Amino acid sequence: MATSETPFPQTASAFFFNIQTSERDDGFSVFAAARTRLFGIAYRMLRRAAEAEDIVQEVWLRWQATDRSRVDNPSAFLAKTTTRLCLNFVQSAPSRRETCIDPGRPELVETSNHLASNAERSEELALAVIVLLEKLTPAERAAYILREAFDYSYRQIGHILHTGEVNTRQLVSRARRHISTSRRTRVGSTEQRRLLETFIDAAQKGHMAPLETFLAEAVVSSSDQDIVECAA
């Protein structure tokens, strides 16, 4: 289990690598390579980081629904989709943007080259979080994260989720299978940010209690407890 003496769990890199590898046939690798550029396009057009993130998430969903075998230039396709969605957003909600944004004072976003590696890492984490939210039930997600990223025992996970060790093993097994499937459930950017922030806090600072609580509460609030009790 991660502690405050372990800045980042050794299994975390493999954890995200496994998620990304499973996603490659689903268009993940192409999108991941372009995501930083897409965010830059959206941010320059919308001038707000949160709205730019929402646009990038929508591009990801469009990319998943696209017949990628018919796309000759994925990078150009993704950039064009990003631009079109930004234009649609600006045209459809001018009053809201006039209220929320002072065009002369956009949000400050650090774009220095020396932060490139950190930005790339953040993008990888963000994409992995999207996959976990879109493809796994709250129970599967909780069991998978605690087991694969933080090396919790099945007994510990069962205690947190109020289920038995056998059921916990089944949840982790199902999660592994579901990550490699094409099923998806759309999730909001707020939920993405909450999971990402809580995960990073646990990974970097060893603050495991908030992560455990966050994951367990998601199971209960989604009425997923029945799935925990009869995992198959």
pLDDT of residue 231: 56
145 pLDDT higher than 70: yes
pTM over 0.85: no
183 pLDDT higher than 80: no
Answer for the pair 68, 27: CB distance below 8 angstroms, yes or no.
yes
Question: How far is residue 63's CA from residue 23's CA, in Å, rounded to a whole number?
Answer: 13
* Per-residue pLDDT band at 171 (split at 50, 70, 90): very high
Query: What is the pLDDT of the chain when averaged over all its residues?
Result: 75
> What is the percent of the chain where pLDDT is above 70?
70
pLDDT of residue 124: 65
Question: How far is residue 164's CA from residue 97's CA, in Å, rounded to a whole number?
Answer: 50
pLDDT of residue 191: 84
pLDDT of residue 202: 83
pLDDT of residue 16: 58
Answer for the pair 140, 19: CB distance below 8 angstroms, yes or no.
no
More confident residue, 115 or 202: 202
pLDDT of residue 107: 46
The alpha carbons of the chain give a radius of gyration, in whole angstroms, of 19
151 pLDDT higher than 90: no
Residues contacting residue 107 through CB under 8 Å, at least 6 positions apart: 47, 48, 49
Answer for the pair 227, 139: CB distance below 8 angstroms, yes or no.
yes
Taking phi first (over 0 means left), then psi (-120 to 50 degrees means alpha), and beta for anything else, what does residue 48 get?
beta
* Per-residue pLDDT band at 138 (split at 50, 70, 90): very high
* Per-residue pLDDT band at 72 (split at 50, 70, 90): confident
Question: How far is residue 35's CA from residue 125's CA, in Å, rounded to a whole number?
Answer: 12
Mean pLDDT over 209-227 rounds to: 79
Question: How far is residue 84's CA from residue 14's CA, in Å, rounded to a whole number?
Answer: 36
Answer for the pair 41, 55: CB distance below 8 angstroms, yes or no.
no
Q: How many residues in total does the chain contain?
A: 232
pLDDT of residue 129: 82
pLDDT of residue 227: 52
More confident residue, 70 or 20: 70
Mean pLDDT over 148-169 rounds to: 91
